[in-house]
């Protein structure tokens, strides 16, 4: 198994944030939301950690007519683009933007019904800080639905995944994907973290050749 090598925790350069938003994540976001909704009722108050430019909250509001979303991120430049995206989509009344560090949420205990996140954990040097905060702010019976990249066992597998899923991208995009794979957690590492805050290890499973998903009720 290759060692985890951290990448920068925060993407807060305006040009990088715009380049990120310009990438086509439509299908990935659609599948994420469909899989989330398949878990059942989300309640009325959903927290999206590491929302970036708020594409997933927008997709969620398009597919779910009732929920309201707190879309949080620690990067000002991401939230500035998110504000525009939300306005264009017409969801200002349902999506609330908050500048929050996911390692120290400015929310009360048991305040939200569902916590979601896509591709946040691999950015965090100490992922347990985020996992513990999720457990704290989630109400009893609430849902957690996190998905992220899964660290491969070898550099050869890393290169295979880069070629398969980013082979037609520019070299900069390929390198970002490569770094993210190497910075990701394994299924077993994530299972150990969720077990420490009272969730079943089995709630974390590999859900593709490059992703794990943590789906559970508190």
- Per-residue pLDDT reduced to its tens digit, 104-154: 999 999 999 999 999 999 999 999 999 999 999 999 999 999 999 999 999
Which residues are CB-neighbours of 116 under 8 A, at least 6 positions away?
36, 46, 47, 48, 49, 56, 60, 144, 145, 146
Is residue 171 included in any domain, yes or no? no
Is residue 135 included in any domain, yes or no? yes
Cα–Cα distance measured from residue 45 to residue 115, given in angstroms and rounded to the nearest whole number = 9
What is the tally of structural domains in the chain?
1
Task: Please give the span between the terminal C-alpha atoms of the chain, in angstroms, as a whole number.
Answer: 31
pLDDT of the residue at 66? 86
Query: Which residues of the chain register pLDDT less than 70?
Result: 9-13, 17-24
Cα–Cα distance measured from residue 160 to residue 173, given in angstroms and rounded to the nearest whole number = 15
Place of tokens 């591709």: 119
Whether pTM exceeds 0.85: yes
CATH number at residue 99: 3.40.50.150
Place of tokens 């704290």: 136
């Amino acid at each position: 198994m290759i060692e985890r090598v951290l990448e920068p925790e925060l993407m807060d350069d305006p040009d990088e944030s715009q380049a990120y938003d310009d990438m086509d994540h439509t299908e990935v976001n659609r599948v994420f939301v469909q899989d989330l909704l398949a878990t059942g009722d989300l309640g009325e108050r959903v927290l999206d950690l590491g929302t970036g430019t708020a594409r997933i909250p927008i997709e969620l509001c398009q597919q779910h007519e009732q929920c309201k979303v707190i879309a949080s991120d620690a990067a000002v430049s991401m939230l500035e683009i998110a504000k525009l995206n939300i306005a264009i989509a017409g969801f200002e009344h349902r999506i609330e933007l908050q500048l929050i560090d996911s390692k120290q949420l400015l929310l009360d205990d048991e305040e939200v019904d569902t916590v979601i996140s896509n591709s946040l954990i691999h950015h965090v040097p100490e992922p347990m800080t985020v996992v513990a905060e999720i457990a704290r702010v989630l109400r009893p019976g609430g849902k957690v639905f996190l998905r992220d990249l899964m660290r491969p066992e070898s550099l050869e597998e890393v290169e295979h995944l880069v070629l398969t899923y980013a082979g037609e991208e520019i070299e900069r995009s390929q390198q970002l994907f490569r770094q993210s794979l190497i910075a990701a957690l394994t299924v077993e590492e994530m299972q150990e973290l969720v077990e420490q805050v009272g969730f079943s290890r089995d709630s974390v499973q590999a859900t593709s050749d490059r992703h794990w998903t943590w789906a559970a009720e508190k």
